[in-house]
Amino acid sequence: MKYCDKCHVDVQTNQKYCPLCHQVLQGDNDETWIELYPKFIPLRREVLPLTKKIILFITIVAIAVLLAINLTAWEGKLWSLIPIGSILYVFMIVRYGVLSRQNIAFKLALLTTALILILNMIDQQFTEPEARGWAINYVTPLALLSCNVAISAIIWIRRINFRDYIFYLLTIMVFSLVPIILCLFNIVTVVWPSLAAFGLAIFILLIIVFFFPKSIKDEIKKRFHF
């Protein structure tokens, strides 16, 4: 046992200095005393805040330059939407896919939504009227279907955080309803991709309801505060 003259406390340690005031401690080392430290858990470093800012800056500058060139040399077409869409999508992959600590289902859902929106915009702007609709007919339902398969595969392989993912599956199911509804209004003219996406969403949900009914109940309680 050592003693600090300044703090007037006994200190159970073999350290040379007082842990409170950093004065030299009085007394001899106790050879039988084993120093006990709490396990050191380093704080996870915030993911490169400067890198995030630089990426955002480059993205904004690139989009502004493209728009400026397009508008000053106007030839009747907003052609810059295509490179801008690509840049935005790469930006989202890097910023929210790579440099983010969100769970992977969130990342997949976000990137799928971005892809769907960007490609539908490009479809509306650039496709000849008679060929228009590929984005809503094929890309939208098949992207939803792929996202659903990917998230379900992750749930199955990892078997962890099961409850966190159900929310995303339910969200995809609701989204998959949209192309089906658009079929009724003749906006979606090719039905099978939309049916496949919605069918798979229902199928996966039924599997969960059948095999893991409690997880669905818990999730609904959690989300809606019942």
| Binding residues for Zn ion (CB under 5 A) | 4, 6-7, 18, 20-21, 23
Q: Shortest distance, CB of residue 25 to Zn ion, whole angstroms?
A: 7
- Given the complex with Zn ion, which of 30 and 203 has the nearer CB atom? 30
- Given the complex with Zn ion, which of 30 and 102 has the nearer CB atom? 30
Q: Shortest distance, CB of residue 4 to Zn ion, whole angstroms?
A: 3
Please tell me whether residue 17 adopts helix, strand or coil conformation. strand
b/e burial code for range 123-147 (CB count within 10 A of at least 16 → b): beeeeeeeeebebbbbbbbbbbbeb
Largest Cα span, the chain? 92
Q: Shortest distance, CB of residue 24 to Zn ion, whole angstroms?
A: 9
Q: How many CB atoms lie within 10 A of CB 219?
A: 19
User: Looking up tokens 């084993």, which residue turns up?
Assistant: 34
Please choose, from the candidates 135, 138, 117, 152, the residue with its C-alpha nearest in 3D space to the C-alpha of residue 194: 138
Residue type, 108: L
Q: Shortest distance, CB of residue 23 to Zn ion, whole angstroms?
A: 5
Q: Shortest distance, CB of residue 1 to Zn ion, whole angstroms?
A: 14
Q: Shortest distance, CB of residue 21 to Zn ion, whole angstroms?
A: 3
Please choose, from the candidates 192, 207, 196, the residue with its C-alpha nearest in 3D space to the C-alpha of residue 144: 196
Classify residue 156 by burial, with Cβ atoms within 10 Å: 0-12, 13-18, 19+.
Answer: exposed
Contacts of 25-30 with C-beta under 8 Å, sequence gap 24+, read: 26/2, 27/1, 27/2, 27/3, 28/2, 30/1
- Given the complex with Zn ion, which of 21 and 206 has the nearer CB atom? 21
d(CA 204, CA 165): 12
- Given the complex with Zn ion, which of 10 and 153 has the nearer CB atom? 10
- Given the complex with Zn ion, which of 20 and 98 has the nearer CB atom? 20
- Given the complex with Zn ion, which of 11 and 119 has the nearer CB atom? 11
- Given the complex with Zn ion, which of 7 and 87 has the nearer CB atom? 7
Q: Shortest distance, CB of residue 14 to Zn ion, whole angstroms?
A: 16
User: Looking up tokens 């505060």, which residue turns up?
Assistant: 225
